[in-house]
Amino acid sequence: MSSRTAARAGVLLATVGAAALLTSGVASAHVTARVLGEAAAKGGYTKITYRVPNEDAAASTIKVEVKLPAEYPLTSVRTKPMAGWTSELTKIKLPQPVKSGNTEITEAFSTVTWTAVSPAKIAPGQFEEFELSVGKLPDNTDTLVTPAIQTYDSGKVVAWDAPPPAEGAEEPEHPAPALALSAAQAGAGGAADEHAAHNGTTTEAASASGEDNTARWLGGAGLVVGALGLGLAAGATLRARKAIAAAKAGV
């Protein structure tokens, strides 16, 4: 086999392999829910990011609906504005009051719906991320399951509502987005925690923001010092030239 033939064969194999990986990735894509870090703290507030991939090769996603569990009621829910999409929050009166710490909850948010305003959409091969600020998170469960319904412009509807599988069991075809909840943190659930969540930050994010601001301040100070240095150098050069010119004139 010539070197040219071998090269062509290598390119063909690489192309086939990449196509197989891409196909596998699309087929296994799910609507998922994520928070900054590994888990959200029980009894606190957090920002949830729902990642919604388009799994249809011929239709676009135009609506995403998230169901919030009545058994673990969330009394504070806010959406982040998204260009090209409207959001709607639905609140219900609970059949039975639910205790959360020392508070008795009688109504809570039940549904969040994002609807695309044409020409906005999630086209084939694309994904979008939708953000929610929520709280207080339940303190009597380790997992918060929030089923989602994905609607396409072809009329197709996919319900991501299968509960998490038992440990070691096979993942269902359409698993519901689920969040792992960690042990409650000291001071979690207060006004500062709620404010941070509603502003899209957590302790980790705030720390990163502070480090970033410090780096920017130092960078700006460096630029100022550099500019002053250049100014002093230019002034010294100009004075030296004038001295030389004066000396030549004296001669």
Q: Which range is most confident: 42-51, 90-99, 197-206?
A: 42-51
CB atoms under 10 Å from CB of 100, counted, come to 20
Percent of the chain whose pLDDT exceeds 70: 63
pLDDT given at position 179? 95
Q: Which ranges of the chain does DSSP label H, i.e. alpha helix?
A: 3-27, 191-198, 203-250
22-36, 75-89, 159-173: segment of lowest average pLDDT: 22-36
Q: What pLDDT is stored for residue 231 in this prediction?
A: 56
The pTM of this model reads 0.67
The percentage of the chain sitting over the pLDDT mark of 90, rounded to a whole number, equals 54
Give 183-195 pLDDT, tens digit per residue: 987 655 555 556 5
CA separation for the pair 112, 65 (Å, rounded): 6
CB 182 within 8 A of CB 41: yes
Confidence of residue 216 (pLDDT cuts 50, 70, 90): low
Largest CA distance in the chain: 104
Q: Are 132 and 79 in contact (CB under 8 A)?
A: yes
pLDDT at 201 over 50: no
Cβ atoms < 10 Å from Cβ of 81: 8
Grouping H, G, I as helix, E, B as strand and the rest as coil, residue 186 is coil
Decide: 75 and 164 in contact? Cβ < 8 Å: no
Q: Which candidate, 107, 63, 103, places its Cα nearest to that of 85?
A: 63
Q: Given a cut of 50, is residue 11 above it in pLDDT?
A: no
pLDDT in tens, 21-69: 333 333 457 999 999 777 899 999 999 999 999 999 999 999 999 999 9
- The pLDDT value recorded for residue 26 is 39
Backbone angles phi, psi at 7, to 5 degrees: -65, -45
Question: What is the average pLDDT score of the chain?
Answer: 78
